[in-house]
Copies of this chain bind each other. A is one copy, B any other.
Amino acid sequence: MTHNGPGRSHDIAHLAHVELLTPHPEESLHFFTEVMGLTISGREGDSVYLRGWDDYEYHTLKLTAAKTNGMRHFAFRANNPEALERRVSALKAQGLGIGWNDGDQGHGPAYAFHTPDGHPGELYYETRWYQPDEQTRPALKNQASRFPGRGANLRRIDHLNLLASRIAPVREFFVDTLGALLSEQIVFDDGSEKGAWFSVNNKSYDLAVTEDHAGRRGRLHHLTYAVDSREDVLRAADICLEHGVHIETGPHKHAVQQTFFLYLYEPGGNRFEIANAGARLILAPDWETVVWTETERRKGQAWGLQTIQSFHTHGTPDTPEGTS
């Protein structure tokens, strides 16, 4: 199994997509297309497939009408077929595998699994590159599709943040079973882990896990898309203000990972983040995990903003446990 430093795996290429559930599908779709600037690739049943203008795959967001909010699944793309096989074997060995399915509109066969905290995930390699049409063909051929000039103009899926009842098993899972790098983490004075950030490529993280203060298992904290600059995040806040979108907190700069963030609730109640990390990359192959202490975290965010209370409690589904 793989740890930080020499030997880190490159089996997983990147976070690929998330399937988000919404009890208000029309309002959620309007939010993602008109306010956020995503583009529709296709529809099927209760689902709409969406992507940012720089996402190279057919979709990075699958928006599905449902009775509750929350996440139906997330997916990583493997770097090649052999890497996929290696990780499927590891999942099976851990008893976390569910099995193969035929894939979806946007990709080929996928292997389903769940994290130790119960979050449903998938791994696949065969994908469908997005093919622009007349409306979305870019002027420069090295770009996935046309810059939309609409709303917040979200560029690309960036990362996913899961809530977990316990961090350590999920942290071990991503590092040992999936071969991710643990780039940063929060460990309190009593040794309890409060959060962990994982990278599978040169981005400083593609996935994070933070503690669910409600003690529930397998919930979603938020999904994040990236824009080009901090000014783009500020402009997105202006646009959200005009559209009456609920802004939970931000824009501000995290101390952890230094992400410049804006947290929203989309109409379905799922937390959604618009972020920019400047040119931040982890290029060092022997990066040492940055461990934040309890004292350091008490200082709040980078410029002193205190973390809002709902940040530790609001997750989706936000229905009482056992319902839906």
Chain A residues packing against B (C-beta within 8 Å): 6-8, 10, 13-14, 35, 37, 54, 56-57, 77-82, 125, 129, 138-143, 146-147, 149-152, 155-156, 184, 201-203, 226-231, 234, 237-242, 244, 247, 249-253, 255-258, 260, 276-281, 283-285, 290, 292, 296, 302-304
Q: Which residues of B contact A253 (CB under 8 A)?
A: 234, 237-238
The answer to whether A251 touches B149, judged by C-beta atoms less than 8 angstroms apart, is no
Do residues B79 and A6 form an inter-chain contact, with CB atoms below 8 A? yes
Q: Are B247 and A279 in contact (CB under 8 A)?
A: no
- The smallest beta-carbon distance between A249 and chain B, in angstroms, is 8
Min C-beta distance of A318 to chain B, whole Å: 19
User: Which residues of chain B are near A237, meaning CB under 8 Å?
Assistant: 253, 302-303
Cα A226 to Cα B277 with chains together (Å): 14
| Residues of chain B within 8 A of A37, CB atoms compared | 149
Q: List 7 A-B contacts (CB under 8 A).
A: A78-B285, A139-B241, A142-B184, A147-B242, A203-B281, A230-B231, A231-B231
Whether B227 pairs with A279 at a CB distance below 8 angstroms is: yes
Which residues of chain B have C-beta atoms less than 8 A from A284's C-beta?
13, 56-57, 129
| A147-B279 CB under 8 A given contacts A142-B258, A229-B230, A303-B247 | no
Task: Tell me if A228 and B138 are in contact (CB < 8 A).
Answer: no
Q: Are B251 and A303 in contact (CB under 8 A)?
A: yes
What number of copies of this chain does the assembly contain?
4
Cβ-closest chain B residue relative to A262 = B303
If A238-B147, A242-B146, A303-B241 touch, whether A279 touches B139 (CB-CB below 8 Å) is: no
Q: Are B303 and A142 in contact (CB under 8 A)?
A: no
Which of A57, A141, A149, A150 has the most chain B CB atoms inside 10 A of its CB? A149
A155 touches B250 (CB 8 A): no
Q: Is the CB of A7 within 8 A of B147?
A: no
Q: CA separation between A134 and B149, bound complex, in Å?
A: 22
Contact A290 B141 (CB under 8 A): yes
Contacts of A290 in B (CB 8 A): 141-142
Closest to A81 in B: B6
B279 contacts A156, C-beta separation under 8 Å: yes
Asked if A279 and B155 make an inter-chain contact with CB atoms under 8 angstroms apart, the answer reads: yes
Contact A250 B202 (CB under 8 A): no
A282 CB to closest chain B CB, in angstroms? 9
Contact of A226 with B279 in the complex, beta carbons under 8 Å: yes
Known interface pairs A6-B80, A142-B256; A281-B202 also in contact (CB < 8 Å) = yes
Residues of B within 8 A of A256 (CB): 142
Is A239 in contact with B149, judged by CB distance below 8 angstroms? yes
Expressed in whole angstroms, the minimum distance between the Cβ of A14 and any Cβ of chain B is 4
Q: CA A280 – CA B10 in complex, angstroms?
A: 20
Tell me which residues across on chain B come within 8 A of A242, comparing CB atoms.
Answer: 138-139, 146-147, 149
Establish whether residues A54 and B279, one from each chain, have CB atoms under 8 Å apart when the complex forms: yes
Closest 7 CB pairs of A and B: A6-B80, A228-B278, A202-B202, A14-B283, A142-B290, A79-B285, A13-B285
* CB neighbours of A143 from chain B (8 A): 258
Structural contact, A279 and B228, CB atoms closer than 8 A: yes
